[in-house]
Structure 1
Amino acid sequence: MRDGALSREHLRFVHETPRGGVLHCFVLDCSGSMLTGQRLALAKGLLIALFDRAGAMRAEAALVCFGGASADVRFGPAVPRWWNERWLEPVGAGGGSPLEAGVRRAAQLLERSARRRPAQQRWLWILTDGRTRDEPRRPADADEVVFVDFERGTLRLGRCEALANAWGARCMTPEALIG
């Protein structure tokens, strides 16, 4: 070999984080069934922890709440620099479970983000007890989807797990995320 020639020892693989950043879009079920057994309170506590993680990673986050007959964006997308419990205190619950409206609203948000930042990695987190008959389609612009299943009790419908399986997504309990 000539002096200064390129050899195998010079080559290295370096894994890089996505240059486009990461967006975590949280979809929170605020229906009446989430009031049973303090599910909504547990979901709010988990959201605070997840927003803190996103902020520490300098990732963008967004929050879509659905309940009654509507769904609306409550935060973001933005880097949650000063997220705290005061943002979640006014989030109440009641009425039906329009999961389809919540997923549709999140899909619009993810689509806008994909146009604005195509290299961004987009996560969709759906926090629900699955007490709905809606069967929404998986948003095309969600790279990763996680259902956080808040269903408790002996009579379980298993809709979160069924939707996760249909979407090729993960289904986790809140306890698995906390631990």
Structure 2
Amino acid sequence: MHVIVLDISGSMAWGQRAARAKAYAAAIVEGARRSGAWVALLAVGGQHAQWVLRPRAARRSAVQRMQALGCGGGTPMQQAALQVEEVLCAHARHYPAAYRHVWVLTDGRVRTVPMRPLAAHEVTVVDFDDDPVPLGQARRWAAAWGARWLLAAAGCPGLAGGRDG
């Protein structure tokens, strides 16, 4: 199971951050689809965290839904973290042997670092802060969570480094 948390806040509208994050998410969905894994997609922006795709077998239609998302407002990541934890726990009850991987696609520009989804086996924070002098918040966030940190500029590794589930 791959849960993708997609930051669509106002700061992700700068440059091509949101478009690159959506492309990255699409690559994760495609990798999950090829391996037969489940995927869920949570968009975080404005005042809400909203499920674009609830957990299910990965399909290309998830990418189409995601492309229609606009950017703006704040980044309610604490709300998102609670929703992700709820979905992961429900999935774990039904599929206890399934591997659960959370992908957070963000520029890290949040006021407070949310709680780490404890039901996740693996968490990857993908950093889209491409300013000439990046703030480094996503990297600090990943370190605080004990998560893997990837710089989005390095390209999308797909599902490399993690197990499918």
Q: What is the TM-score with the length of structure 1 in the denominator?
A: 0.83
Q: Distance in 1 between matches of 2:53 and 2:141?
A: 25
Q: Distance in 1 between matches of 2:119 and 2:62?
A: 28
Cross-structure match for 2:5? 27
**Partner residue of 1:143 out of 111, 121, 136:** 121
Kindly indicate whether the alpha-carbon contact (under 8 Å) linking 1:98 and 1:134 is maintained by their aligned counterparts in 2: no
Provide Cα deviations, 1:112-169, integer angstroms capped at 9, x if missing partner. Answer: 1111111111000000001111211111101000000000113322111111111111
Cross-structure match for 1:62? 40
The structure whose Rg is larger is 1
Cross-structure match for 2:64? 86
- Equivalent positions of 1:145-160 (< 5 A) are 145-160=123-138
Q: What is the TM-score with the length of structure 2 in the denominator?
A: 0.89
SS in 1 for 2:16: helix
Q: Distance in 2 between matches of 1:166 and 1:44?
A: 25
Cross-structure match for 2:104? 126
Q: Which runs of 5+ in 1 are unaligned?
A: 1-22
**Partner residue of 1:96 out of 59, 65, 74:** 74
Q: Distance in 2 between matches of 1:75 and 1:84?
A: 6
Query: How many residues end up aligned between the 2 structures?
Result: 157
SS in 2 for 1:42: helix
Q: Distance in 1 between matches of 2:123 and 2:48?
A: 22
Letter matched to residue 56 of structure 2:
A
**Partner residue of 1:174 out of 152, 155, 163:** 152
Per-residue deviation at 1:176?
Answer: 3.2
Provide Cα deviations, 1:28-63, integer angstroms capped at 9, x if missing partner. Answer: 001000000110001111111110000000000000
- Higher mean displacement: 122-131 or 74-83: 74-83
- Higher mean displacement: 153-162 or 30-39: 153-162
In 2 relative to 1, CA 117–84 (structure 1 residues): closer, same or farther, beyond 3 Å?
A: closer
Letter matched to residue 68 of structure 1:
G
In 2 relative to 1, CA 175–154 (structure 1 residues): closer, same or farther, beyond 3 Å?
A: closer
Q: Distance in 2 between matches of 1:97 and 1:47?
A: 18
Letter matched to residue 75 of structure 1:
L
Q: Distance in 1 between matches of 2:95 and 2:40?
A: 15
SS in 2 for 1:127: strand
Q: Pick 1 or 2: higher relative contact order, CA cutoff 8 A, min separation 6.
A: 2
- Root-mean-square deviation (CA, aligned residues, Å) is 1.4
Q: Distance in 2 between matches of 1:176 and 1:56?
A: 22
